[in-house]
Amino acid sequence: MRLKSKIYLYTSVLFAILLTAVCISVYMLFGRMAIGDETRRIEAEALLIADRVASSASEIAPDDLLRAYVPADGMLRVVRPDGTSLPAVTNGDGDPFITEAYEYREDLNNEHLSGGGHGYIRVSVPVIWSDGEVRSVQISRSIADTEGRLAVLRTVLALVALLAMVPAILASGVLANRIIRPISALTGTMSDIRQSGTFRQIETGQKPGDELAEMERTFNEMIALLETNFERQERFVSDASHELKTPLTIIESYANLLRRRGRERPEVFDEAVDAILSESVRMRELTERLLQSARRPEADTLQLTEADLAKCVRESASVISKAYGRKVEVESAEFVTVTTDEAKVRQLLFILLDNARKYSEEKIEVETLGGKGLPAVIRVKDRGVGIPEAELPKVFDRFYRVDSSRTRQTGGSGLGLSLAKDIADVLNIAIRIDSEVGRGTTVTLTFAPEGIPPRVSEKEAGRYGLLRRSARHDGRLEQRKEEEE
């Protein structure tokens, strides 16, 4: 059975059960109240009649006495202690009560009985008869009128229940449709996604705050995440196939050259080995950065601490200097502290220092300013070839290279500055590049005075898929130094 049919059936049955229970409760309560009122009225009348009968028993013949006080729609009987009675007296309507069984009652008593197809109330009142004997005066009265009103009430309640079921069934259908609508939209959207291969979100028009709106929001977030991950996967495949094609071709060409001429010509051997080693190192760096770029956002978080930028700069510069034998001058105050993720700051510095090393032969200068209430600033300067002014807005694009031939020689992949921009955005750092062709490039990092804003959650901070790799990068640089030596 479909969910819509289940909701429709269950709500209709539940409403029918509740309505029936209410009608039965109303009928029973009203019936009990009506019978109770009738019993009290007959009991009061019986007390009055019994008192008058007992007081007149010595003056009037029993038959005449009872006939004088018999109710219009009932019966009057006097029962002796031995269980016998004087002849019962009725006015015609009470004739069916004469044949009913009776017994002597020593105390005031009332009973709800039935006879002749109708109910009646019998009240027994003990009295002292004229001869001193305690007898029971029993008065029986019909409650047909009350039962008739209860029958009318039963009919009315039954009709009301049947009429009320019509809007209840319609309301169940409306409720089922309202509940099923977002689920149907969800199912339809998933079916469309499966058939078309494209990602879509659902819009059911639910008001925020209920579970259906929460389901819609959760599904749309899941679709957005899947779409982002799918795009990252496609981009990774595209980037990898595009960027790895050239170094693989170079490695294959030099391997063939080695196979043909490597044994006879030592200079060809040396050239081929150097080229293969260089392209292998570049492929490793490129693969690592591709994986960083394609990494799932939720896998990364921020670890905010009070970091000393001056110390970070000095240690990062020392690693680059020792690994590549390059002179890196550091000018900094003794302490420049900010609240940030120190590991990511180191990663950002390694990218900028590595770029400065690749595109300049002279010394690299790093300057650290700020602190004591002023924004912290880090500047990385090189005296390399520089970047044309027209190219500066594009340098943060993925795989963008100012000069493809030059970047092939230096090992550039076009991913470094793109990752640097991603890291800077996560850490709330403003990054600016100033460059002049032939004179060098300066990259300026300006830290926000308040650090990373509270609105950047861990999930948002990880949306660029950045790896925490500072220690691993240090080890890679030391390994490369050993290989080059």
pLDDT of residue 28: 93
Q: What is the DSSP letter of 473?
A: H
Q: pLDDT tens digits for 359-412?
A: 888 889 999 988 666 788 999 999 888 888 878 877 877 656 665 444 444 445
**This prediction's pTM:** 0.45
Distance in angstroms (rounded) separating the CA atoms of residues 355 and 380:
10
Q: Which residues contact 275 (CB under 8 A, 6 or more apart)?
A: 250, 251, 254
Asked if CATH classification 3.30.450 holds for the domain at 3-149, the reply, yes or no, is yes
Tally Cβ neighbours within 10 Å of residue 355.
22
The string of pLDDT tens digits covering residues 191-239 is 887 787 777 777 666 666 667 777 778 888 888 888 877 877 777 776 6
Given the DSSP bridges, would you call strands 364-371 and 374-382 parallel, antiparallel or unpaired? antiparallel
Count of CB atoms situated within 10 Å of the CB of 329 = 12
Q: CA torsion sign, 276 to 279 to 282 to 288?
A: negative
Q: CA 57 from chain center: how many Å?
A: 86
Asked whether the beta carbons of 394 and 263 are under 8 A apart, the reply is no
**Nearest by Cα to 123 from 88, 76, 82:** 76
Q: Please name the residue that has the structure tokens 């957005």.
A: 224
Q: Which CATH superfamily is domain 300-484 in?
A: Histidine kinase-like ATPase, C-terminal domain (3.30.565.10)
Pairwise pLDDT comparison (66 vs 207), residue with the higher score: 66
* Every domain of the chain and the residues it spans: 3-149, 300-484
What is the C-alpha to C-alpha distance for residues 266 and 11, in angstroms, rounded to an integer?
Answer: 89
Q: What is the rounded CA–CA span in Å between residue 258 and residue 263?
A: 7
Among the residues of 197-265, which ranges form H helices? 211-243, 245-261
pLDDT tens digits for range 263-296: 777 777 877 787 788 778 767 766 776 676 666 4
